[in-house]
A and B are shown apart, each in its own frame.
Chain A
């Protein structure tokens, strides 16, 4: 609006003589304002990555947990086999059962994010980092319903240690992460524990 119309508008708007006098002392304009609100990105982890009871052998080998795409936190576990590690078939209590790591995400519908995870981590005998250990590698996210949240269908691998996804139209996403446990030849018996970190970031 040019100066003259603004002035005329102000004159019509303020009919009183005091207001008319004010018109040239002040000026107003409608200024656009606004903001976009998005939901924070929240990551929940409702199950850990556990390889269960394993019988070691005279040869080193891998025990691998792999998620089943579009499953419900389900997974396959494979063993290198004799003379490498095999599955313990007994029922002794106190052995943590196998499970795949389960994750659910809440965030802004349809917004994309990256998932970062390490190249490797270690589990230590009795959780003691000075003690003997086994390496865990090949963390591999797979879309799956977890913690009662459905996957968005947009999970994809981007590079080593990075995957991409986006929240579904209702703001949720879910995936599992499996991995490979490196069991040594004649691995020392006992309970091994450790942890690894997963980070998600809007991008």
Chain B
């Protein structure tokens, strides 16, 4: 092959192979990235656990605020133990079951935890107290918020799990049993208990 042809051939080969040469000088990757966002979980206390007005007796006994399928009842152990006051004297905090609503990310599971028994103390005499043992949480509509269908753990009174509904909410109530002493000192008894919910 003469030199002119040889030069031409080399020139053609260089022109054709320029793209291929560049490809092996560089390399590219498309990298995947992502994240998942969820809303924070929030607990709202709608009503406290209130036993209302009770008449003490010569025997100790109990008063139970208990959840029913869509409401609650209050039952006293009765004479000679405590009975419910049936008069209409004002200024008494009416009885109520503790009720809660939750907001959060639809579909996420969470735990509910509280500890007891808890003590309420006479506001005029701090040496006088009564004890409350809590029931397990119970699914109920609260403030128009429909509960999830997955509330479980009701056999263990103080812990339970549930799921945020597709509306981003949940609701449940907690009842309890108040132990009233024989000839319990009169007065208003108050206290509080802490409930914690957490995504799990």
Contacts of B27 in A (CB 8 A): 40-43, 105, 199-200
Q: How far is the CB of A112 from chain B (nearest CB, A)?
A: 12
> Cβ of B35 and Cβ of A90 under 8 Å apart?
no
> Cβ of A55 and Cβ of B38 under 8 Å apart?
yes
Whole-angstrom CA separation of A202 from B24 in the bound complex:
9
Best-buried of B31, B40, B108, B199 by chain A (most CB within 10 Å): B31
Interface flag for B36 (CB, 8 Å): yes
Interface flag for A196 (CB, 8 Å): yes
Q: How many residues of A contact B (CB 8 A)?
A: 51
Nearest residue, chain A, Cβ from B25: A202
> Cβ of B24 and Cβ of A197 under 8 Å apart?
no
Q: How many residues of B contact A (CB 8 A)?
A: 28
Q: Of A41, A90, A191, which one neighbours B109 at CB under 8 angstroms?
A: A90
Contacts of A188 in B (CB 8 A): 37
Q: How far is the CB of A83 from chain B (nearest CB, A)?
A: 9
Contacts of B31 in A (CB 8 A): 45, 48-49, 101, 177, 195-198
Q: Of A48, A90, A199, which one neighbours B33 at CB under 8 angstroms?
A: A48
Given A40-B24, A90-B200: A192 and B108 within 8 A (CB)?
no
> Cβ of A51 and Cβ of B34 under 8 Å apart?
yes
Q: Which residues of B (149-171) have their CB < 8 Å from a CB of A?
A: none
Query: A55-B38, A96-B36, A196-B30 given. 6 additional CB < 8 A pairs?
Result: A40-B25, A54-B36, A55-B40, A89-B198, A183-B35, A194-B34
Using a CB–CB cutoff of 8 Å, the interface residues on chain A facing chain B are 40-45, 48-57, 63, 88-92, 95-96, 101, 103, 105, 121, 123, 134, 136, 177, 179, 181, 183, 187-202
Contacts of B28 in A (CB 8 A): 43, 197-200
**A-contact bits for B31-54, CB 8 A (1 contact / 0 none):** 111111111110000000000000
Interface flag for B189 (CB, 8 Å): no
**A-contact bits for B168-200, CB 8 A (1 contact / 0 none):** 000000000000000000000000000000111
Q: Which secondary structure dominates chain A's binding surface?
A: strand
Whole-angstrom CA separation of A177 from B38 in the bound complex:
25
Q: How far is the CB of B38 from chain A (nearest CB, A)?
A: 5
Contacts of A191 in B (CB 8 A): 34-36
Interface flag for B105 (CB, 8 Å): yes
Q: How far is the CB of B28 from chain A (nearest CB, A)?
A: 5
